[in-house]
């Protein structure tokens, strides 16, 4: 008996006979998808290895540069702390200087008030002295007129008083 290829069932990769062309077509599609998946996995595996390699290089780079970076950061931190301390000291000095200035300003105002009072007192004394001298001069004039009644003169008080303003101040 000769074997007819149409009657001999085709044996699949799983060892079972294939029944129809639909199964064959489905198996071909599955094999194509499996091949595509294997290719996809291989490509992604390559990409993953590339990423792992880059990650390892980055880790090595970080290890190599972390020391200098850490030292630079520590140096900057110390400079900032020193600057902060200088600012704190300067603010304290500024506050002390402000208090000294306020005290000096108050002293100046007080001294100016004392000076003004002294000027007013001096002005009063000069005015009182002038008035006293004028009064004595008037008294002497009356005594002279009493000794010499024929001579008539104008009142010295009115003449002298017109040249002297009662509220003049002397500035020092």
What span, in angstroms and rounded, lies between the C-alpha atoms of 16 and 28? 16
Q: Does the pLDDT of residue 171 top 50, yes or no? A: no
Which ranges of 1-155 does DSSP label H, i.e. alpha helix?
21-147
pLDDT at site 170: 47
φ, ψ for residue 17 (rounded to 5)?
-70, 145
| Mean pLDDT along residues 139-157 | 74
pLDDT at site 27: 84
What span, in angstroms and rounded, lies between the C-alpha atoms of 100 and 102? 5
CB of 146 within 8 A of CB of 120?
Answer: no
Residues contacting residue 161 through CB under 8 Å, at least 6 positions apart: 134
| Mean pLDDT along residues 38-59 | 89
pLDDT at site 136: 94
CB of 117 within 8 A of CB of 100?
Answer: no
Mean pLDDT of the chain: 82
> Inter-axis angle of helices 156-163 and 21-147, to 10 degrees?
160
More reliable by pLDDT, 162 or 53: 53
| Mean pLDDT along residues 144-152 | 78
CB of 12 within 8 A of CB of 26?
Answer: no
What span, in angstroms and rounded, lies between the C-alpha atoms of 73 and 63? 15
| Mean pLDDT along residues 40-56 | 89
pLDDT band at residue 4 under the 50/70/90 scheme: very low
């Amino acid at each position: 008996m000769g074997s007819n290829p149409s009657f001999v069932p085709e044996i699949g990769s799983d060892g079972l006979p294939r029944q129809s062309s639909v199964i064959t077509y489905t198996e071909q599609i599955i094999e194509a998808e499996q091949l595509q998946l294997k290719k996809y996995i291989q490509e992604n595996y390559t990409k993953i290895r590339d990423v792992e390699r880059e990650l390892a290089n980055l880790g090595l780079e970080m290890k190599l540069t972390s020391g200098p970076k850490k030292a630079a950061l520590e140096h900057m931190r110390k400079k900032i702390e020193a600057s902060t301390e200088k600012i704190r000291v300067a603010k304290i000095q500024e506050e002390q200087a402000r208090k000294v200035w306020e005290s000096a300003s108050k002293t100046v105002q007080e001294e100016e008030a004392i000076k003004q009072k002294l000027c007013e007192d001096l002005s009063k004394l000069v005015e009182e002295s002038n008035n006293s001298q004028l009064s004595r001069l008037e008294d002497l004039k009356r005594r002279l007129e009493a000794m010499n009644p024929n001579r008539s003169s104008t009142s010295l008080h009115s003449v002298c008083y017109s040249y002297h303003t009662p509220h003049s101040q002397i500035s020092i």
